[in-house]
Structure 1
Amino acid sequence: MSRRIIFIAGTTAELIKIAPVMHELKRRGRRYGYWSTAQHSDGVAETLADLSIEQPELLLVDDAHARGVVSVRQVPGWLLSIGRSVAKNRRLIKSELHQGIVLVHGDTFTTVIGSLIGRIFGAQVGHIEAGMRTGNMWSPFPEEINRRIVGRLAHLHFAPTSREVANLAKVATRKGVKVICTGANTVVDSLREVRDSLRPTAFNLPARYGLVTLHRFELVRDRDAYRDVLYALKEFSRQFPLVILIGKSERERLHEYDLENVFDDHFRRIDKSSYRTFQSILMGASLVVTDSGGLQAECAALGIPCAIHRTHSEQDQGIGQNVLLTGQNIDTLNTFLQEWETFRRPPCLDQFQPSKIIVDEIDSVWNA
């Protein structure tokens, strides 16, 4: 069998950011495959449809674990299921991956698993969104550890900016390793691909509103920190309406912490929707409060005022311009909420084409 390019992904965020690379490969006539770890199940089918991605060729878990991981306690069983699936399909995996390329993205458990599978079965491993570091092993946890592990496993490191390239300076000295600066996060390509076809949502949102997304383990598993930020946002929503997108994991925490009564007509709760619906909400928002690194990159490209409610960020895109890192400090967040209009900047969405740079490098490796 000829060498293949295989994407291994498991979360909706990974799908969003690998989709433009898939599309660029397809435009050049390159064959590729997509294997899933089913780390997420909520919204995946809609995301695949929105991004014109076919269903995975191979599901790396059994049926019992294909419903996604929504809590830390589910991780061990999910990992064991992947191990069993890889063992069961080892001949197929070896024939597909030998001397091929495995592409992974970001900092999830799937990123580590995909890199290990690639290494074990003789493929070169390419890491999209490589080199991001906070400098704190435990923040965010486990993402920072995952990044460092993949940094040792990958052969091709696709770093978004010069900062990430500098973080990989030692890695770049290893034999068989190459660091490539893509100029930006691939999410800007995803945004550009969908922006002209977006339609108004059916949510009947106000003319001006703020968008909130808060989902990271280190925040939502901390009852006090999660409660404090939600009540701070509720207070602000009396001045300016807010919309918060809630997924399955957050719904469980809200119920567990008895926080479901935080929301009202001014601080409106909406279940997570498809990628296109989310982008319509984002592009209509006046400001954003989030703990998402991906949304940080999107806001940086769009120029939307954005508060990153985390103690550390692994990237500096937009920071010091339209993005403020709160340090997970409520006073800092409140300052942003009072001054958010001063953070707006012109968009720079059309300045970068990272997916083309990634595929250029893959072509170079393939033809070497």
Structure 2
Amino acid sequence: MKVLSIFGTRPEAIKMAPLVRALAAEPGIDSRICITGQHQSMLQQVLDMFELKADYSLDVMRPDQTLNSLTAALYAAIDPILDEMKPDKVLVHGDTTSAMVAAMSAFHRRIPIGHVEAGLRTGDIRQPWPEEMNRRCIDLISDHLFAPTAESRRNVLGERLQGISFVTGNTVIDALHLTAQRIDSNRQLRHALDRQFSFLVPERKVLVVTGHRRENFGDGFLNICKALGELARRDDIQIVYPVHLNPNVLGPVTEHLGDLPNVHLIKPLDYLSFVRLMQRAHVILTDSGGVQEEAPSVAGQAGSGHARCHRASRGSRRGYRTLGGHRDRRDHSRRERPV
């Protein structure tokens, strides 16, 4: 049996790594990887850490690329690979544009599709954008729907989709546990990772922030930065923000937070280093779907910067909070309470 796993972002690689490793260990399965390359350097770090190698690597990313131009490039690049390999099944993960195009490309060739992380819903087709539309499309055409929670499976059952659905748990937690165990069992590695964060003051609580989503570009990031600036006035808090290199993120974050003494803007971290930073955090504020799922397992509190949150069903019982904030700077008053 030939299985092709197609993914392109670092979060996808992290979540697919345990599954791809398991497939590779099966003697009757010819498992191959195609990476679409949205986060090329960060993605390669994950592949190296989990000892995975891409069989196909696409060159489709361009500066200032629109979603439509990316979609067209992905269709043109993926179809020849499907024609050459002729897989018996295509696996995609989540809700990225690359996942949607990969699934549609397989559907057009009548290749069965497996959707990992099926059934997530906000109920608003435009929130998050374009991910909500992407995952609904993928679920609609998938033959096997691997839902992370019972709630996610109820969503796909309620929509009467044709695919067979299963509750599988979330592979990101498998990847997180593998990585955390590696850190916890190796004192030398742990100390080496901690040296990256030597600027931290032990007496102050650590608030880790990540943000990169398209839906927050513009006023969204501006309002988030203003709220974080208000929080940074407190002398018992230190904010660590690994800033995404996208100019729509880097620009406003640097402008509004770069000169504040309690705010540490750092370069994006590899996965191993970021897991260690999460272990040291008291609070994590993020608009990343993957970090929302990881954070409650390692940090004291976790919060979402989404307008609508679709990943809080488990986290809300484990220190998770949905924190609006990209709409209005007054949100800082709500953020202060859990800290």
Deviations 1:225-263 (A, max 9, x none): 3112112112212320000111221x44443x5852522
| TM-align CA RMSD | 2.3
Letter of the structure 2 residue corresponding to residue 286 of structure 1: H
Report if aligned partners of 1:326, 1:332 keep a CA contact under 8 Å in 2. no
The answer to whether residue 109 in structure 2 is matched with residue 121 in structure 1 is yes
**Cα distance change of structure 1 residues 185 and 10 upon mapping to structure 2, 3 Å threshold:** same
Aligned to 1:187: 172
Structure 2 partner of 1:212? 209
Alpha carbons 1:289, 1:306 under 8 Å: kept: yes
CA distance in structure 2 between the partners assigned to 1:178 and 1:335 by the alignment: 45
Match of 1:25? 23
2:255 aligns with: 260
Query: Cα offset for 1:314?
Result: 1.8
In the superposition, relative to structure 1, how do residues 105 and 233 fare at CA in structure 2: closer, same or farther (>3 Å)? same
CA contact (8 A) 2:5 2:90 kept: yes
Tell me the TM-score normalized by structure 1.
0.80
1:170 positional shift: 4.1
Amino acid across the alignment from 1:238: R
Structure-1 residue corresponding to 2:270 = 274
Quick one: percent identity of the two aligned structures?
Answer: 23
Question: Is this contact kept in 1: 2:241–2:266, CA < 8 A?
Answer: yes
- Distance in 2 (CA, whole Å) between partners of 1:339 and 1:170 is 37
Partners of 1:286 and 1:85 lie apart in 2 by 43
CA pair 70-294 structure 1, distance change in 2 beyond 3 A:
farther
SS in 2 for 1:215: coil
Q: SS where residue 17 of structure 2 aligns?
A: helix
- Residues 270 and 42 from structure 1, CA distance in 2 versus in 1: closer, same or farther, beyond 3 angstroms? same
Task: State the match for 1:47 in structure 2.
Answer: 46
Alignment-derived partner of residue 233 in structure 2: 238
- The offset of 1:312, in angstroms, is 0.4
CA deviation after TM superposition for structure 1 residue 332, in Å = 7.7
Number of the residue aligned with 2:86: 97
- C-alpha separation in 1, matches of 2:103 and 2:319: 34
Match of 2:3 in 1: 5
Q: How many residues align?
A: 321
In the other structure, the counterpart of 2:129 is 141
- The 5-angstrom pairing of residues 15-94 of structure 1 reads 15-29=13-27, 30-54=29-53, 56-61=54-59, 65=60, 68=61, 71=64, 73-86=65-78, 89=80, 93-94=82-83
Give the Cα separation in 1 of the matches to 2:248 and 2:330. 28
Partner AA of 1:17 in structure 2: K
- In the alignment, what sits opposite 1:322? 319
TM-score, length of structure 2 as denominator length: 0.87
Retained in 2: the 8 A contact 1:7–1:102?
Answer: yes
Q: CA separation in 1, counterparts of 2:62 and 2:213? A: 13
Unaligned residue ranges in structure 1 (runs of 5+):
342-368
Matched residue, 1:284? 280
In the other structure, the counterpart of 1:229 is 224
